[in-house]
Structure 1
Amino acid sequence: MLKIPRHIAVIMDGNGRWAKERGLPRIAGHYEGVKRAEEVVYACQELGVEFLTLYTFSTENWKRPKEEIKALFELFENYLTKKVPELKKRDIKLKFIGRRDRLPKSTLKVMDYAEKETKNCTSLTVILAVDYGGRDEIIRAVNKLLNSGIKSITEEQFAQFLDLVGIPEPDLLIRTAGEERVSNFLLWHIAYTEFYFSPVYWPDFTKEELIKALEDFSCRERKFGAVL
Structure 2
Amino acid sequence: MKRWLRQRVDAVYEEVLSREISGAPTHVAVIQDGNRRYARRKGDDATDGHREGAQTTERVLEWCQDIGVEELTLYAFSTENFDRPDEENQALFDLLCEKLREFADADRVHENEVRIRVIGEVERLPERVRDAVDYAERRTRGYDRFVLNIALAYGGRSQLLEAVQGVASDVETGTLEPDAIDVETIEDRLYDQPVRDVDLIIRTGGDERTSNFLPWHANGNEAAVFFCTPYWPEFSKTDFLRGIRTYEHREESWRRTRARRAIALLGAVSDPELVEAKSIVERFRDSLPTAEQPDPDDLEGVDGGQVEELDSSGQAAD
**Fold match (TM-score > 0.5):** yes
Cα pair 1:15 1:202 within 8 Å, conserved: yes
Q: Which deviates the most, 18-27 or 208-217? A: 208-217
Residue 62 (structure 1) aligns with: 82
| TM-score, with length taken from structure 2 | 0.68
Residue 161 (structure 1) aligns with: 189
Residue 117 (structure 1) aligns with: 139
SS in 1 for 2:195: coil
Quote the offset at 1:37 in angstroms.
0.4
**Aligned counterparts of 2:226 and 2:158: Cα–Cα separation in 1:** 24
Structure with the higher strand share, 1 or 2: 1
| TM-score, with length taken from structure 1 | 0.93
Cα pair 1:100 1:131 within 8 Å, conserved: yes
Residue 212 (structure 1) aligns with: 242
Structure with the higher helix share, 1 or 2: 2
**Aligned counterparts of 1:216 and 1:132: Cα–Cα separation in 2:** 26
Supply the AA of the counterpart residue of 1:49: V
Deviations 1:9-50 (A, max 9, x none): 000000011111111111111000000001101111121110
Q: Which deviates the most, 125-134 or 187-196? A: 187-196
Change (3 A) 1:75 1:186: same
Supply the AA of the counterpart residue of 1:90: N
Cα pair 2:199 2:247 within 8 Å, conserved: no
Quote the offset at 1:60 in angstroms.
0.4
**Aligned counterparts of 1:112 and 1:147: Cα–Cα separation in 2:** 29
Supply the AA of the counterpart residue of 1:27: T
Supply the AA of the counterpart residue of 1:139: L
Unaligned runs of 5+ in 2: 1-19, 260-318
Quote the offset at 1:147 in angstroms.
3.4
Work out whether 1:98 is the aligned partner of 2:120: yes
Residue 154 (structure 2) aligns with: 132
Question: Which structure would you say has the larger RCO, counting Cα contacts within 8 Å and 6 or more residues apart?
Answer: 1
Unaligned runs of 5+ in 1: none
Runs of 4+ with >4 A deviation: none
Residue 29 (structure 1) aligns with: 49
**Aligned counterparts of 2:131 and 2:223: Cα–Cα separation in 1:** 33
User: Which of 187, 207, 222 in structure 1 is aligned with 2:215?
Assistant: 187
Question: Which structure would you say has the larger Rg?
Answer: 2
After superposition, the CA RMSD in angstroms is 1.7
Q: Which deviates the most, 77-86 or 151-160? A: 151-160
Quote the offset at 1:164 in angstroms.
7.4
Q: Share of identical aligned residues, percent?
A: 36
**Aligned counterparts of 1:165 and 1:92: Cα–Cα separation in 2:** 15
Deviations 1:35-94 (A, max 9, x none): 000110111112111000000100100010000110010000011112211122332110
